[in-house]
């Protein structure tokens, strides 16, 4: 019985420690941008927060990568 109580208390402490940063404190920062991103292979979206500058830089890099892919076209066409 004592082991069960110790396990329950320790798991509660562990789980409460994981939520040390509240969602409100991160999203209330004017310089931060939070978004939920779908993770490949999972139905659960992951919440990520980053600075506005980093988010803008990532957006530009992603757009440039898509432009490069679209320029190349489909290089694996069947030419029979």
Using one digit for the tens of pLDDT, what is the confidence trace for 26-65?
556 788 999 898 888 988 999 999 999 999 999 999 999 9
Q: Compare 18 and 46 and report the one with higher pLDDT.
A: 46
Q: Reduce the DSSP state of residue 69 to 3 states and report it.
A: helix
In angstroms, what CA-CA distances link 48 with 29, 37, 66?
14, 7, 22
CA distance 17 to 65: 38
Give the pLDDT score at 16. Answer: 58
The token pair that represents 38 in the structure block: 């779908």
Mean confidence (pLDDT) of the chain: 78
Nearest to 32 by CA among 46, 17, 47, 16: 47
The token pair that represents 55 in the structure block: 């988010």
């Amino acid at each position: 019985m004592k082991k069960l109580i110790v396990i329950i208390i320790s798991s509660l402490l562990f789980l409460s420690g994981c939520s040390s940063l509240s969602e409100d404190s991160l999203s209330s920062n004017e310089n931060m941008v939070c978004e939920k991103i779908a993770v490949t292979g999972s139905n659960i979206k992951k919440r990520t927060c980053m600075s506005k500058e980093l988010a803008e830089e990532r957006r530009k890099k992603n757009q440039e990568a898509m432009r490069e892919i679209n320029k190349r076209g489909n290089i694996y066409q069947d030419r029979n």
